[in-house]
């Protein structure tokens, strides 16, 4: 069954995150921003979700260290820096990365990325969906397809059968908890009809 990943913008209240996580199954939470409060990380972990900190890397920037209590990082930004970060990962951390092309995806997978992420939560790109489907069909490393949390985008993402779907329910939705519950219902329906 497909599972949900939530992206959480910097400044989101821990109570909103905890409420969203309590309302449905969430595999992981990716926290944006340079400094992630420990309350947010603990809210994810207490709900059984992996707490990942986003690192937008520039050329030559090291992704390490990360907050001691985080489960890992999600890497974006400079491609060479993403590869270097995956290859120098501290033991025991989950390290996933965004890919903008098939070449980037294969290189990140070969370097040891725990997942490869396609697209952004701002819009559902046809090219990202196609790459995620291609990746899932050929490689064991899980694919993540990112897109908006609205019903139309969710229907398209669920139809891909990609292992993980990433959305942001905090910026545009007044009821993140209700949206997480609704998305989980859609995922269950998709699993039944597949």
**Segment 155-194, tens digit of pLDDT:** 999 999 999 999 999 986 679 999 999 999 999 987 766 5
CA end-to-end distance (rounded Å), the chain:
9
The first and second tokens of residue 95, run together, are: 């390290």
Quick one: pLDDT band at residue 19, thresholds 50, 70, 90? very high
Task: Give pTM, 2 decimals.
Answer: 0.95
Mean pLDDT over each residue of the chain, to the nearest integer:
93
The sign of the dihedral angle between the CA atoms of 137, 25, 23, 118 is: negative
Class of domain 3-193: alpha beta
Are 48 and 28 a contacting pair, CB within 8 Å?
no
Burial 6-43 (b: 16+ CB within 10 A, else e): bbbeeebebebbbbbbebbbbbbbbbbeeebbeebbeb
**Segment 39-76, tens digit of pLDDT:** 999 999 999 999 999 999 998 777 787 877 999 999 99
Distance (Å, rounded) from C-alpha 46 to C-alpha 130?
Answer: 34
The first and second tokens of residue 33, run together, are: 């921003």
Q: Phi, psi (5° rounding) for residue 116?
A: -120, 130
């Amino acid at each position: 069954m497909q599972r949900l990943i939530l992206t959480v913008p910097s400044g989101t209240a821990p109570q909103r995150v905890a409420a969203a996580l309590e309302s449905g199954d969430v595999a992981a939470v990716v926290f944006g921003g340079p400094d992630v409060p420990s309350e947010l990380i603990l809210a994810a972990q207490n709900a059984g979700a992996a707490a990942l900190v986003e690192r937008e890397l520039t050329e030559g920037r090291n992704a390490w260290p990360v907050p001691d209590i985080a489960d890992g990082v999600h890497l974006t930004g400079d491609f060479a820096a993403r590869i270097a970060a995956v290859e120098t990962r501290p033991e025991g951390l989950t390290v996933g990365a965004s890919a903008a092309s098939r070449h980037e995806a294969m290189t990140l997978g070969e370097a040891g990325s725990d997942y490869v992420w396609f697209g952004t939560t701002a819009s559902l790109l046809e090219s990202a969906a196609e790459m995620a489907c291609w990746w899932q069909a050929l490689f064991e490393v899980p694919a993540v397809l990112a897109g908006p949390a609205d019903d139309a985008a969710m229907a398209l993402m669920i139809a891909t059968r990609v292992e993980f779907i990433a959305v942001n329910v905090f910026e545009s939705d007044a009821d993140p908890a209700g949206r997480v519950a609704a998305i989980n219902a859609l995922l269950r329906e998709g699993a039944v009809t597949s």
